[in-house]
Structure 1
Amino acid sequence: MTDAEHQTHEQRLERARRVFEHATRVAGEDGHGPVGPEAGAGEGRQGRDSARPRRRGGRGRAPAQEPPITGAAAVDAEPDVEEVARTVALNQLNHSARSRGQLAEAMARKDVPAHVADRVLDRFEEVGLIDDAEYAAMLVRTRQSERGLARRALAVELKRKGIEGEAAAQALDAVDPDEEEAAARRVVEKRLRSMTNLEPEVKKRRLAAMLARKGHPAGISYRVIDEAMRAENAEE
């Protein structure tokens, strides 16, 4: 027998031994006793049969197997909470930018302990994945240009997104009063185009309510509304 054949033979023996040991272990767990040459030593058919649990109809029913006490299957696969926190944060950031407060809330919903969440969020801030100041500035710019929100409404929006304190203050300080008024004028002119059949007082009341919801002061609101309505009348 060559070395290669000898090695192959030993491998076959090893596989056979493992299969035999596995069958012996499974049979023992099923309550059928040992399998193999030692199965007949000191045990008769009657002894084995009497040890088996029976059910109605006369057939034996093996008990459910217990979890293994060794090996990978015996390890309880509880997820690491820090890994859960990282996964939650990355999934949120994959959709769009998020504030630290928003990510902390998302982690809390997944039962991540606060101290673990803080550690992960600190690390995300260090590498630049979280930047509340930058996020606040971006939010103020887009909400003002797209929705015509004024400073008061922008502050509410920032708080809703979990941004307060210095980051919120810096973003709001950057709001230009002239641009704020220009935003009010844009939304009023746009809304007026859909109010052609309404009475002037109804228009004014509805436009004032709309600007109030967007956070504009009453003085600026009525001035912008009056100017827009005079321009509309002049065109007619």
Structure 2
Amino acid sequence: MPADAARTDEEWTSLGRSVLLRQLALGARSRHQLDRKLAEREVPPSVASALLDRFVEVQLIDDAEFARMWVRTRIAAKSLSRSSLRRELAEKGIAVELVEDALEQVSDEDEIEQARDVVRRKLRMSADLADRTVREKEMRRLVGVLARKGYNPGSAYSIVKEVIAGAAADAAEGAEPEG
């Protein structure tokens, strides 16, 4: 008989509590993530459920706050689209209604401006945008950058086209001799 099978509920509870506190010390976690961690450590489901319920009750676990914080930090650090954030939160076991509430922090305008900022930062200033081949290559590259951040291809193309047109106009303006 394995040593773990001989543990009492009290011992399992103590182990589970230690696992949860260690995980939360590393950073915020969703209930689902913590439940998986307890399962990895083979904490019995009844003990895990009771511990998780208690941690929710004392507000050490709060999936709604976790989702809001996740959205804020991932937007600031990675400029991800709402669709990418929605997928990431779903993978972390956050309920759909909590995900949607957290995503309300980001308006359509915020998301578009964020995408423009990404394109402006990634646009190669050395690229000769007057050259059609170079401009098209740069557009494909930048649309790909936005696509990897979860922006849909149509929106990504429109945003890249707009930013490149603005950059090309600025470059042409700067090239004109002063009168």
TM-score range normalised by the length of the shorter chain: 0.7 to 0.9
In 1, the alpha carbon distance for the partners of 2:58 and 2:108 equals: 35
- Choose which of 157, 160, 167 in structure 2 pairs with 1:222: 157
How far has the Cα of 1:175 moved from its partner?
A: 2.3
The alignment status of 1:152 with 2:87, answered yes or no, reads: no
In 1, the alpha carbon distance for the partners of 2:17 and 2:136 equals: 55
Aligned to 1:101: 32
CA contact (8 A) 1:100 1:162 kept: yes
* Cα displacement string for residues 100-151 of structure 1 (whole angstroms, at most 9, x for unaligned residues): 0111111111001111111000000010100000010111112123211111
Aligned to 2:58: 127
The alignment status of 1:138 with 2:69, answered yes or no, reads: yes
How far has the Cα of 1:94 moved from its partner?
A: 0.5
- Partner of 1:199: helix, strand, or coil? helix
Assess, with a 3 A threshold, how the Cα gap between structure 1 residues 82 and 194 changes in structure 2: closer, same or farther.
Answer: farther
Assess, with a 3 A threshold, how the Cα gap between structure 1 residues 126 and 163 changes in structure 2: closer, same or farther.
Answer: same
- AA aligned to 1:216 is Y
Aligned to 2:92: 161
How far has the Cα of 1:158 moved from its partner?
A: 0.7
Aligned residues: 160
Segments of 5+ residues of structure 2 without an aligned counterpart are 1-5, 172-179
Runs (4 or more) in structure 1 with deviation over 4 Å come to: none
TM-score between the two structures when normalised by the length of structure 1: 0.63
In 2, the alpha carbon distance for the partners of 1:176 and 1:170 equals: 12
Aligned to 2:122: 191
The alignment status of 1:92 with 2:23, answered yes or no, reads: yes
- Partner of 2:150: helix, strand, or coil? coil
Aligned to 1:21: none
The alignment status of 1:175 with 2:106, answered yes or no, reads: yes
CA contact (8 A) 1:108 1:114 kept: yes
Query: CA RMSD for the aligned pairs?
Result: 2.0
Aligned to 2:138: 203
The alignment status of 1:112 with 2:38, answered yes or no, reads: no
- AA aligned to 1:94 is A
How far has the Cα of 1:229 moved from its partner?
A: 0.8
- Partner of 2:93: helix, strand, or coil? coil
Moved more, 84-93 or 159-168: 159-168
Segments of 5+ residues of structure 1 without an aligned counterpart are 1-76
